């Protein structure tokens, strides 16, 4: 399956790791719908690592752990499909998954057929235990071919953490999204690191194969598997806005059944989601305020001709940001001007003397959608 905008959904790993089961999946799916996030575009419910038994069955097939998934995976898929959602599952190109469950090395065609039979719509494919003697790109192509021939549209989500120059070959594998970095953790240092790792690979993404900056930590508040102290709500706002401006898939990672209103408002910010999901899929470009890597200004030209501009203060002090309309591609001799608003506060974009200018506190962002008039 190919999605022409970055896939959106929820994934079990960030909060629950191995503590997953049918009840958690189905109740989270219900909350995704009841809380309005499904209507915002979140549709994939992805069961990450630790869903299987440690041994394959006599026919060499993967077996869902019957204690965690007493009715099997087809039941889960049918339940989600009946509600307009899609099922994602997880495997790995090595002999074992990262948590040491059986994985798909040399079983690619069997596993793709099994997933198709269950009604799976999405496969996250990891990189642990890849034999040194085999190339990751060859193993990913093998799974890409297996999925393309399994008789069901299954979205291929690569997760090789940017290793082995993933950006150079991932587009040849059939993957629709690719993880460009190592794992996210729920603290601001991790968000900052993942954003800065994008600077050199901005051209490698977009329609066809989206650059996946990893699951969101918005709303985790230090709880769960990758909880490492947590972030403030302003830091979560910055994190979400950066993922949207950079066009990453948006996979919620918190416990959606216990989400507070602020978290729901961040994840459900339709104007930011519209930037992430912009169908034209233009790549973002980058300026560095004062030449500082920790003060990125990220810009995207949107499909309707608007500009999305984000000021991101990754430093620990308040910073002044500015960028001229000329820098943004709208010189004054064009007779055109930019006007618009900030997308969290709704405040008018502060444009003075043909310059978008604002003072931004530490660990905060300002994101504007600007019209050319």
Q: Which residues bind ligand GLA (CB under 6 A)?
A: 13, 48-49, 97-99, 126, 159, 161, 183
Q: Token match 């950066």: residue?
A: 242
- Rg (C-alpha) for the chain, rounded Å, is 21
Question: How many other C-beta atoms are found inside a 10 Å radius of the C-beta of residue 333?
Answer: 6
Token reading at 83: 């509600």
- Whole-number minimum distance, CB 367 to ligand GLA, in Å? 26
Q: Which long-range contacts (CB under 8 A, 24 or more apart) does 290-296 make?
A: 293/196, 293/199, 294/192, 294/196, 295/319, 295/321, 296/195, 296/196, 296/199
- Whole-number minimum distance, CB 361 to ligand GLA, in Å? 31
- What are the residue numbers of the active site? 126, 183
Strand order in the sheet with 351-352: 319-324, 355-360, 351-352
- Whole-number minimum distance, CB 331 to ligand GLA, in Å? 44
- Whole-number minimum distance, CB 182 to ligand GLA, in Å? 7
The smaller minimum CB distance to ligand GLA, of residues 20 and 267, is found at 20
The smaller minimum CB distance to ligand GLA, of residues 212 and 306, is found at 212
- Whole-number minimum distance, CB 247 to ligand GLA, in Å? 19
CA distance 365 to 342: 10
The residue number whose beta carbon is nearest to ligand GLA equals 98
Burial label, 83 (beta-carbon count in 10 A; 0-12, 13-18, 19+)? middle
- Whole-number minimum distance, CB 92 to ligand GLA, in Å? 8
The smaller minimum CB distance to ligand GLA, of residues 129 and 287, is found at 129
The smaller minimum CB distance to ligand GLA, of residues 33 and 201, is found at 201
Strand order in the sheet with 44-46: 210-212, 177-179, 155-158, 122-126, 86-92, 44-46, 8-11, 250-252
User: What are the E-state strand segments in 240-295?
Assistant: 250-252, 285-288
The smaller minimum CB distance to ligand GLA, of residues 13 and 118, is found at 13
Beta bridge partners of 18: none
Q: Token match 């972030």: residue?
A: 231
DSSP tag of 282: P
The smaller minimum CB distance to ligand GLA, of residues 98 and 241, is found at 98
- Whole-number minimum distance, CB 137 to ligand GLA, in Å? 18
Token reading at 15: 């909060």
CA angle 264, 268, 270 (to 5 degrees): 160
Give the closest residue to 355 by CA, choosing from 318, 333, 334, 327: 327
Q: Are 250 and 42 in contact (CB under 8 A)?
A: yes
């Amino acid at each position: 399956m190919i999605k022409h905008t970055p896939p959106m959904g929820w994934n079990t790993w960030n909060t629950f790791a191995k503590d997953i089961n049918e009840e958690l999946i189905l109740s989270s799916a219900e909350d995704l719908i009841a809380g309005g996030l499904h209507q915002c575009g979140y549709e994939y419910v992805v069961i990450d690592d630790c869903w299987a038994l440690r041994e394959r069955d006599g026919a060499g097939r993967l077996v869902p752990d019957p204690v965690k998934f007493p009715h099997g995976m087809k039941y889960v898929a049918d339940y989600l499909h009946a509600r307009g959602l899609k099922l994602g599952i997880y495997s790995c190109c090595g002999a074992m998954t990262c948590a040491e469950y059986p994985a798909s090395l040399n079983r690619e065609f069997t596993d793709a057929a099994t997933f198709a039979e269950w009604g799976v719509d999405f496969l996250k494919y990891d990189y642990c235990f890849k034999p040194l003697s085999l190339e990751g790109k060859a193993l990913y192509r093998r799974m890409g071919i297996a999925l393309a021939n399994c008789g069901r549209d299954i979205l291929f989500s690569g997760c090789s953490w940017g290793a082995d120059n993933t950006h150079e070959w991932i587009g040849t594998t059939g993957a629709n999204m690719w993880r460009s970095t190592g794992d996210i953790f729920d603290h601001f240092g991790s968000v900052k690191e993942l954003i800065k790792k994008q600077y050199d690979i901005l051209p490698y993404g977009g329609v066809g194969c989206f650059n996946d900056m990893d699951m969101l930590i918005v709303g985790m508040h230090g709880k769960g598997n990758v909880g490492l102290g947590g972030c403030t709500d302003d830091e979560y706002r910055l994190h979400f806005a950066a993922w949207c401006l950079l066009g990453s898939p948006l996979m919620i990672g918190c416990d959606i059944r216990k989400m507070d209103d602020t978290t729901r408002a961040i994840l459900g910010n339709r104007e930011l989601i519209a930037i992430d999901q912009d169908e034209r899929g233009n790549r973002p470009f980058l300026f560095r305020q004062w030449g500082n890597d920790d003060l990125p200004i990220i810009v995207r030209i949107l499909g309707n001709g608007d500009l999305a501009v984000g000021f991101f203060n990754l430093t620990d002090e308040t910073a002044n940001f500015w960028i001229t309309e000329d820098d943004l591609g709208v010189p004054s001799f064009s007779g055109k001007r930019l006007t618009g608003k900030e997308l969290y506060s709704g405040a008018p974009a502060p444009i003075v003397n043909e310059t978008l200018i604002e003072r931004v506190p530490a660990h905060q962002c300002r994101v504007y959608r600007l019209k050319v008039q």
